[in-house]
Structure 1
Amino acid sequence: MMKMMKIVTLAFLFAGLFCSRASAGWDPADSDHARMSVDSFRANAGLSRFFDSAYGYVVFPDVYKGGFIMLGGGHGKGYVYELNNLVGRSTITQLNVGPQLGGQSFSEIIFFKSRGDLDDFKKGNYELNAQVTAIIVTTGMATNTDYSNGVAVFVLPKAGVMAEATVGGQKFSYESY
């Protein structure tokens, strides 16, 4: 009985990660949602230097992540900016392995230092591995943070509880408007 519950739980987890609403192109509400997400990150004074100096960035307003026993993952949709102009959409898919239990939601922003760094992302096969560390956004936290290989990643926790000691990665897609 316990084994069956684990299988059903994992099935629902992965169904939720990869199922989303259908979209028939540009939704005007997308630009409003993107702007509100960027504004929530801009509210942290410590990130202003990244907004001022980055060539581009991608913001994921809602990333949902969950894990059970030894397998977990996450998924979210985001918006890509180049020189502070909205130029496309992106998705983030996470997969991780190791002891974990729970679920959480968060917002994530990735700054790209140069045009070349953003162009690499826009090729659509961009991945961040376990060696890239996301900084949890707190007031004033970004004052001593800098780019690593042309990328700076920040996370704004929203809700949930999750305990994990995992190794995994994040894969991104890109679609221009």
Structure 2
Amino acid sequence: MQNLKSLVMIMTICVVTGLQAQVGGWKADLIEDSGKTLDAMIEKQPKLQSFKDKSYGYAVFPKVTKGALGIGGAGGKGIVYKDHVPTGQSTLSQVTVGFQAGGQQYKEVIFFENEEAFKKFTNKKVKFDGQASAVAITDGGSVDVAFKDGIAVFTQTSGGLMFEASIGGQHFSYKAK
């Protein structure tokens, strides 16, 4: 039984590491992809424009890849903006445990209401646990959400199929430009 647990843990680490490697390092096209992603998300849900306009800063992850079979992992790279100007790059990593199977890709944007929330994120002090929730952007859906602890998170599925009832958390790194 202990060997099985060790094997599962090693597989999870490999999945998360592989997903992060898949999306590569700092690239100029990541800035372009992030801008296009946020524009597309705003087009689908126009109320996001007010979050963008009022936020101190935001992080956009154009492609987060997630896979799971019992234990899941996700990873992606994004651009962090302050005053609508790119200031650095962030890496998102996620590990989940529970009843889950499948794979998917999604987009994620995190808005920071104020300087304090922005600094927590860029100082690597923001981690979302199983209690945190993101608002999923859907066609015709309403976005009636407020900032929680200075942060608002929105996601939009790009593709794939995932069955999930799990707990876990997202962790972020930040590297200034």
| CA shift digits 1:7-29 (9 cap, x unpaired) | 7xx47744532433654xx5332
Q: CA deviation at 1:34?
A: 2.1
| CA shift digits 1:91-132 (9 cap, x unpaired) | 000001111110000000011100110000000242111111
AA aligned to 2:82 is E
Q: CA deviation at 1:52?
A: 1.4
Q: CA deviation at 1:33?
A: 1.7
| TM superposition score normalised by structure 2 | 0.86
Who is 2:94 aligned against? 94
Q: Is the 1:45–1:140 contact (alpha carbons within 8 Å) kept by the matching residues of 2?
A: no
User: Post-superposition, which runs of at least 4 consecutive aligned residues in structure 1 deviate over 3 A?
Assistant: 10-15, 20-23
Distance 1:21 1:114, change over 3 A: closer
Distance 1:49 1:40, change over 3 A: same
Distance 1:119 1:101, change over 3 A: same
Supply the distance in 2 between the matched residues of 1:98 and 1:127 (Cα, whole angstroms).
Answer: 19
| TM superposition score normalised by structure 1 | 0.86
Q: Is the 1:46–1:140 contact (alpha carbons within 8 Å) kept by the matching residues of 2?
A: no
Q: CA deviation at 1:36?
A: 1.1
Who is 2:21 aligned against? 19
Alignment gaps of 5+ in structure 1: none
Alignment gaps of 5+ in structure 2: none
Q: CA deviation at 1:140?
A: 5.0
Q: How many pairs align?
A: 167
Who is 2:135 aligned against? 135
Who is 1:52 aligned against? 53
Q: Helix, strand or coil: the match of 2:47?
A: helix
Taking every aligned residue pair, what percent have the same amino acid on both sides? 34
Who is 1:63 aligned against? 64
AA aligned to 2:61 is F
Supply the distance in 1 between the matched residues of 2:41 and 2:51 (Cα, whole angstroms).
Answer: 11
